């Protein structure tokens, strides 16, 4: 059983930055692909970014590419999401998630990843004011 605990959310003005953290209970990066999803009020949960296990390659949703950076600290079993140039439309609850097994590609994470995760954190709220 893997536990994921997010932190780092808060209120920030448009153009500002936040760094989210996701602390895992075990050696997550060797066993799971780990990523971030978000859910805005009244909308479906959507893919944000993923860190592929073992290889360490990263992929992003088009809406955050160039502004967000996903990274992992294997010594701390912690996943990060550095968010820069934040926009009001980035306002959402951000969730950390993990998926074991094979790598199905970034398109799978974008289109089907929400239904294929093995573990979820409880989320952290990010609010971007205009």
Q: pLDDT-based confidence at 39, cuts 50/70/90?
A: very high
Residue 14 near residue 129 (C-beta atoms within 8 A): yes
Which two three-digit tokens encode residue 37?
């999803």
Q: pLDDT-based confidence at 130, cuts 50/70/90?
A: very high
Distances (CA, A) of 73 to 16, 34, 40, 90: 24, 12, 27, 24
Which two three-digit tokens encode residue 129?
């004011």
pLDDT of residue 56: 86
Q: Which residue has the higher pLDDT, 38 or 114?
A: 38
Encode pLDDT of 40-98 as tens digits.
Answer: 999 999 999 999 998 889 999 999 999 999 999 999 999 999 999 999 999 999 999 99
Q: pLDDT-based confidence at 112, cuts 50/70/90?
A: confident
């Amino acid at each position: 059983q893997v536990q994921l605990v997010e932190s780092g959310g808060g209120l920030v003005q448009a153009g500002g930055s936040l760094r989210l953290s996701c602390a895992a209970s075990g050696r997550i990066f060797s066993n799971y692909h780990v990523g971030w999803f978000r859910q805005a009020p009244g909308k479906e949960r959507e893919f944000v970014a993923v860190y592929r296990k073992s290889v360490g390659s990263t992929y992003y949703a088009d809406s955050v590419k160039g502004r967000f950076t996903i990274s992992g600290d294997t010594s701390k079993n912690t996943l990060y999401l550095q968010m820069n140039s934040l926009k009001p439309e980035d306002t959402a609850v951000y969730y950390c998630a993990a998926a074991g097994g094979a790598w199905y590609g970034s398109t799978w994470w974008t289109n089907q990843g929400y239904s294929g995760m093995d573990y979820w954190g409880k989320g952290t709220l990010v609010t971007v004011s205009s």
